Structure 1
Amino acid sequence: MVESICAAPTIRSIEVPPPPTWPELSEEARAALRARILRLLAERRAVLVAHYYTDGELQSLAEETGGCVADSLEMARFGTESDAETLVVCGVRFMGETAKILNPEKRVLMPDLRATCSLDEGCPADQFSAFCDAHPDHTVVVYANTSAAVKARADWVVTSSIALPVVEHLTARGEKILWAPDRHLGRYIERMTGAEMLLWNGACVVHEEFKSFALERVRRLHPDAAVLVHPEAPAEVVDQADVVGSTTQLIRAVVELPHPKFIVATDAGILWKMRQVAPDKTLIPAPTAGAGATCESCAHCPWMAMNALQNLEQVLLTGDQEIQIDPAIRERALIPIRRMLDFARQRPARA
């Protein structure tokens, strides 16, 4: 197996925003705000598409109004199937871009267009294109957490729920793979498939902060707990997992496994859905801290936190946070995304 890391910008070069602060709302004010949003969604013929990592109130509102709460693969599918004129994507920018790529005729809004992703930011399209040009004999596979311009340079786009079967498929055909941007997910796929992969040097600022030694302490405190890990985490954290998988796969594990407790090593936003589907289970966030860490975690994407009821109402009122994509880039990016969706229909993602 051959591995190469390119000289990409390191994760430390990415400016991480401070957590947003929103005014405290009384119960009465919050109920009134939700009521206004419900009215605006109906007036705008709009539907909410929310990721599992967003605030629980947004997930609840999406479900209540016939929208979608899902991982990025299911978010992409939902947008193409909805008859709504406007998609309001509560997540990060690459999710809004994917929705627009698949639905050019629809208006795609986001509560805050500045909500980006460290993986996206750490993979500039010009540098990535040069890396691809230097390895023309490789099939280019990019994670969904990338810009439309990076997707336009790819042969395949994958999400964490479908990456393994896609790479297995390509390896069986004898193809060499250039992978971007998450090196931890790439290394996990290498180990699971034996694929020959060149890896871009990117990482998620949330998942990279999980600490293996702190996780070991929590496991000792809760020996009856199963450990659930997203494959964007470092290998020494993944190695301690009972289940490694996408957000959807980890939620399914909480329901299906018999364990009374689960230590969860992914963005804390997922806990809202886990508590909803398995209210009898005890959920313990995996630690991102060092000495003294037990069950507390600050694992929450600062860009996901930019989505809130307040700016959701604002974007529905003004429509001024609209996703726009150059038509030429959109057409090229559509090809690998469609390839992923077609593959998913023919061969469901690994459970």
Structure 2
Amino acid sequence: MTVSDVEALSPQALVKAHLERLPEPAKVDPAKEAEQIVHIKALLKKHNAAIVAHYYTDPVIQALAEQTGGCVSDSLEMARFGKTHNAQTLIVAGVKFMGETAKILTPEKRVLMPTLEATCSLDLGCPAQEFSDFCDQHPDRTVVVYANTSAAVKARADWVVTSSIAKEVVAHLDSLGQKILWAPDKHLGAYVQRETGADVLCWDGACIVHEEFKAQGLLDLKALYPDAAILVHPESPQSVVELADVAGSTSQLIQAAATLPNPEFIVATDQGIFYKMQQACPDKTLIIAPTAGSGATCRSCANCPWMAMNTLDAMIEVFDRADNEIFVDPALAKRSMKPLQRMLDFKR
């Protein structure tokens, strides 16, 4: 299949085509891993660079970011950290939209990624032109897009939000009498609509990881661990969210694990979060929520296969490659910055 063939696919087929092209994860060699970490630390110092890593990346990448003065956080804090850090180069260990956001907020810095192939089903499933056409069909609605979108989609929006402030922003807009056009995650959009009562029209997109969590499997697991609290990211289907003791963003779920008295937690989000969550509650047991099992459609259930592309091998080569720097057209960046700035101002 050629690049033009892939680009002509529907958003859902486009996601599937990208998944089929991903390599299988490599096996870990502990001795080699230790050597690579030493090497990467030296490279970061040499190039005055900092790693900005998402909670969903491999724990070894998160640990490396922490050990070298970088950041491990959600997408909003990743962007804010890069803006205030004194490093001249940011290594964004996450997916492409995170690198774009970092570049928009810090245009004066060099932004590299271990690989630009690391993308997101929500981003892939919301092509800019199709989304713009959808917005044109509903000119009476305020356009609110999730951070998990391209710079071009953000540029078409009135607001950008993360899952940590989505409810608050939509409730604010609803109080002003505004109707919402939401993209791209339909599950998160529906959750926000239920929580706020706002008039929300959703784009048809979903996260390949969170959509695989199943309510019946969650009930079966809860029967085995009756004292466990259920923590769910609202990108999950409604039937799963309704079983949650806490539904919230990655940072909110980590906070819940640290503060709730339960001895165990059943967690319905990417398993990469366990690294920071276990730090927050070292004496508690974390259990990954069940997915569709043999009927699952994701390549790596409970682990984003694109986040998994942020490997030590890729990090070793990050300064030598010519195809992994993030560039955003200045005019596009300027348009994208307006809804991003609204988000940052609202957060403050």
- TM class by shorter-chain length? over 0.9
Shift of 1:21: 2.5
Describe how 1:198-209 pairs up with structure 2 within 5 A: 198-209=201-212
- Report the Cα distance in structure 1 between the residues aligned to 2:336 and 2:267, rounded to whole angstroms: 33
In structure 2, the partner of 1:349 is none
- Report the Cα distance in structure 2 between the residues aligned to 1:195 and 1:314, rounded to whole angstroms: 47
For the aligned residues, what is the CA RMSD?
A: 1.7
Q: Deviations over 1:155-197 (max 9, x none)?
A: 0000000101101111111111100000000000000000001
In structure 1, the partner of 2:15 is 14
Q: TM-score, normalised by structure 1?
A: 0.92
CA contact (8 A) 2:212 2:301 kept: no
- Tell me which of 111, 115, 123 is aligned to 2:114: 111
Shift of 1:25: 2.0
- Report the Cα distance in structure 2 between the residues aligned to 1:23 and 1:224, rounded to whole angstroms: 35
In structure 1, the partner of 2:286 is 283
Describe how 1:292-331 pairs up with structure 2 within 5 A: 298-318=301-321, 320-331=323-334
Describe how 1:133-148 pairs up with structure 2 within 5 A: 133-148=136-151
- Report the Cα distance in structure 1 between the residues aligned to 2:326 and 2:243, rounded to whole angstroms: 39
In structure 1, the partner of 2:125 is 122
Query: How many residues of Structure 1 are paired with residues of Structure 2 in the alignment?
Result: 334
In structure 1, the partner of 2:5 is none
Structure 2: gaps (5+ residues): 1-8
- Tell me which of 149, 159, 162 is aligned to 1:159: 162
Q: Percent identity?
A: 62
Matched, 1:48 2:12: no
CA contact (8 A) 2:11 2:127 kept: no
Structure 2: which amino acid aligns with 1:245?
A: G
Describe how 1:1-351 pairs up with structure 2 within 5 A: 9=10, 11-15=12-16, 16-17=19-20, 18=22, 20-27=24-31, 29-290=32-293, 298-318=301-321, 320-345=323-348
Shift of 1:13: 4.5
SS at match of 2:326: coil
Structure 1: which amino acid aligns with 2:233?
A: H
In structure 2, the partner of 1:3 is none
Q: Deviations over 1:180-215 (max 9, x none)?
A: 000000000000000001110000000000011111
Q: Deviations over 1:240-260 (max 9, x none)?
A: 000000000000111100000
SS at match of 2:53: strand
Structure 1: which amino acid aligns with 2:149?
A: T
Q: Hey, which bits of structure 1, 4+ residues long, moved more than 6 A?
A: none
Shift of 1:91: 0.3
- Report the Cα distance in structure 1 between the residues aligned to 2:135 and 2:219, rounded to whole angstroms: 39
CA contact (8 A) 2:14 2:124 kept: no
Shift of 1:314: 0.6
Q: Deviations over 1:249-302 (max 9, x none)?
A: 000111100000000000011011111221100111000134899xxx931101
Shift of 1:324: 1.1
CA contact (8 A) 2:144 2:158 kept: yes
CA contact (8 A) 1:19 1:302 kept: no
Alpha carbons of 1:283 and 1:19: their partners in 2 closer, same or farther (altered >3 Å)?
farther
SS at match of 1:228: strand
- Report the Cα distance in structure 1 between the residues aligned to 2:125 and 2:226, rounded to whole angstroms: 37
Q: TM-score, normalised by structure 2?
A: 0.93
Alpha carbons of 1:144 and 1:287: their partners in 2 closer, same or farther (altered >3 Å)?
same
SS at match of 1:231: coil
- Report the Cα distance in structure 1 between the residues aligned to 2:120 and 2:14, rounded to whole angstroms: 13
Q: Deviations over 1:61-117 (max 9, x none)?
A: 111111100001111111111111100000000000000011111100000101000
- Greater relative CO, 1 or 2 (CA 8 Å, sep 6+): 1
Structure 2: which amino acid aligns with 1:25?
A: D
Alpha carbons of 1:13 and 1:314: their partners in 2 closer, same or farther (altered >3 Å)?
closer
Structure 1: which amino acid aligns with 2:12?
A: I
CA contact (8 A) 1:46 1:84 kept: yes
Deviates more, 1:157-166 or 1:13-22: 13-22
Shift of 1:118: 0.3
Structure 1: gaps (5+ residues): 1-7, 346-351
Structure 1: which amino acid aligns with 2:25?
A: T
CA contact (8 A) 1:214 1:291 kept: no
- Report the Cα distance in structure 1 between the residues aligned to 2:295 and 2:335, rounded to whole angstroms: 49
Structure 2: which amino acid aligns with 1:272?
A: Y
